[in-house]
Every structure is written in C-alpha cells, then in structure tokens.
Amino acid sequence: MTRLAFVLLLIATPAAAQSWNAGDRRAAGAAAVGIAGDCASSVVALNRGARELNPFLTARPGTFGILAGCAIGGATTWLVADALPRPWRRRLLLAIAVAGLALTFHNLRQ
C-alpha cells in the first residue's frame, strides 16, 4: 500500500514542477541512453550466462523481465525528475546517466 501511495504522489506532483529547459532535456536524453545501454547489455550478459544482480529482479529474469524493469526504471526516473526543482533535476538525471553507462561497461565485461 505504501508503494502505491508513493507512486500516486509521484504522478500527482509533476503539475507543480518547473518546466524543462534545453539542459534538462539533454540530461534526460543522457539518462535514457544510460538506461537503454544498461538494459541492452544486461540482456547480452544474461544470454552469456551471467546472473542479474539487481535486487528488484530475479537472478535469471529473462529478456522480458529485463525490458520490463528498464521501462519501470525509465518511467520512475522521469516522474521523479519532473517533480524535482531544476538544479536537482539535472543532477539526478546526470547521475543516472553515469550509473547507466558504468553498468553497461560492467555488463559487457562479464
């Protein structure tokens, strides 16, 4: 129930958020690239026999599980970023971009 309330709160708050400028959109694009890279490289690593380390997924989630997790992560990223004030929004998105790219390289080395 707490998760549902949190999700509903996140959906309701973007109306009060500041509009996105060009820098915010670039940061969102970088975060999307990071998430997509992590998603694709996770599928490649799992097909090679690696185990998934994400605690929200099972050890062997399959391609659909990975894609669903990435979609949920991407949507959550957008909702949280949209609810944040401008200086924090860009910081969050850039941190997610860096983490996604780091995970991409990690997955490809497995």
pLDDT at position 65: 85
Sign, Cα dihedral of 56, 49, 71, 39: positive
| pLDDT > 80? residue 68 | yes
Percent of the chain topping pLDDT 90:
45
Do residues 79 and 15 touch, judged by C-beta distance below 8 A? no
Per-residue model confidence as pLDDT tens digits over 79-108: 999 999 888 999 999 999 999 999 999 988
Q: What is the pTM of this model?
A: 0.78
> Mean pLDDT across the stretch 36-63?
82
Alpha carbon of residue 21 to chain centroid: 20
